[in-house]
Amino acid sequence: MNAMKVLHTIAARDWGGIACRVVDQALWTNRNGHECWLACPSDSAVAAGARRAGVPTIGFDFDRPFAPSTILALRHLVRRLDCQVIETHTGRCANAAMFCRDRAVVIRTRHTTQTVKPSLTRYLRWRMAWDWTIVTADVIAQDLLAAGLVPHSRLDVIGEWAAERFFDRSSWPVWRAETRQSLGVAEDDILVGSVGMLRPEKGFDHLLRAVATLSTRCPRLKTVIVGSAAGDAGWEHHLRSLASELGLDGRVIFTGYRSDVAPLLQALDLVAVPSTFEAQSRVIPEAFASARPVVASDVGGIGELVLDGVTGWLVPPASPESLSRVIASVYEDPGQALAIRTVAGRFATERLTIDAGMHAHMAVYEAAWACRRTSPFRHLVLSDLRSRAAPVNR
């Protein structure tokens, strides 16, 4: 195949790392001679964010993936778009898409390190329902292989990447000056920052406890947390209250959701990824591409990117003491941080570009298309159910 028509599907409603990655994929695909769409719930934050970014977006409800109306509506959409590839990014949309394998290649992309719960139906779906599996970290691949859920021959690891804007060195000095000014941070302050949804597993409470222990030792240390809560704002309130309880008023900045991550990273002297649960954080390749040093929890697939003492620092999860030691070392020894970020920047340039990631995706599409098999489920979609199919929301 030369030009491809690709449909991405997301059943989730909240904006997050998966949606960001898919938007990157769709924009790259459409810029490079192919056609690409995203199907997701029309009233979701995912749809709103994708449309703002310029991704052709189709409203689709995956809440009942096994309902005949959902299956027939998706089949109608695939036929109308004449797409050759469906790449699914969440469980419910993957379950619906498996009934379209007679019309397109179905790729199941898994973004989480959560273990697949054992059951016969899940085992059969993973073994038979999709043409190929992509995972975003090697640790996920090893888990699926150990459970016998996918054959090695139809499994590829394509990790996170950084978009082109993060590599734009010509903009870095201006971004740093303007962003620090907007945040009220002086140039001689040391600014530690984290980017992500405000959820417990992101570990921002551990970061706050870490910086609180350094108030006397590092008097010019400030912290910024970039992100918003998904749905319930209770955890955001908890973090703000915790910052006050720890005596960090005036030293911690909560920016809320920001789309200008590249300029924000330039304002930082250290990027912290204190997650207690993570596959491969998107912000790590972005920080590497921005030549910002990274300290991260040694969980999930993070160690596949952050090589301790080489491209960054790894610390145990939920360990404010370990975090504080690294933060203090960056504060007191900027030369060490410079050496780390130089190596990390080179690593990003060589291996973590969106071009590299998307060429890998295209190779998977080509391989899956080459060994395309007829869906064993096509006969389950009965013609007398067509009248009950829900119309595609546009």
The pLDDT tens digits along the chain (394 residues) read 579 999 999 999 999 999 999 999 999 999 999 999 999 999 999 999 999 999 999 999 999 999 999 999 999 999 999 999 999 999 999 999 999 999 999 999 999 998 898 899 999 999 999 999 999 999 999 999 999 999 999 999 999 999 999 999 999 999 999 999 999 999 999 999 999 999 999 999 999 999 999 999 999 999 999 999 876 788 999 999 999 999 999 999 999 999 999 999 999 999 999 999 999 899 999 999 999 999 999 999 999 999 999 999 999 999 999 999 999 999 999 899 999 999 999 999 999 999 999 999 999 999 999 887 544 444 444 333 333 334 433 3
Assigned token pair, 115: 């273990």
Long-range pairs for 168-171: beta carbons < 8 A, 24 or more residues apart: 168/262, 171/262, 171/263, 171/266
- Which residues make up the CATH 3.40.50.2000 domain(s) of the chain? 5-161+353-388, 165-351
Find out whether 22 and 49 touch, Cβ atoms under 8 Å: no
The whole-number pLDDT of residue 2 equals: 79
The whole-number pLDDT of residue 98 equals: 96
- CA dist 67 and 348 (Å) reads 44
Residue (of 4, 49, 9) closest to 28 by Cα position: 4
Find out whether 31 and 3 touch, Cβ atoms under 8 Å: no
Find out whether 155 and 230 touch, Cβ atoms under 8 Å: no
Residue (of 354, 374, 363, 392) closest to 106 by Cα position: 374
Long-range pairs for 23-32: beta carbons < 8 A, 24 or more residues apart: 23/49, 23/50, 23/53, 23/55, 24/161, 24/163, 24/354, 25/87, 25/358, 25/361, 26/50, 26/55, 26/56, 27/53, 27/54, 27/55, 28/354, 28/355, 28/358, 29/4, 29/358, 30/55, 30/56, 32/358
Please tell me what DSSP assigns to residue 295: E
The CATH class given to the 165-351 domain equals alpha beta
The whole-number pLDDT of residue 1 equals: 55
Q: Kindly report the backbone phi and psi dihedral angles of residue 100, in degrees, each rounded to the nearest multiple of 5, phi listed first.
A: -115, 10
Q: What is the pTM of this model?
A: 0.91
Which CATH homologous superfamily contains domain 5-161+353-388? Glycogen Phosphorylase B; (3.40.50.2000)
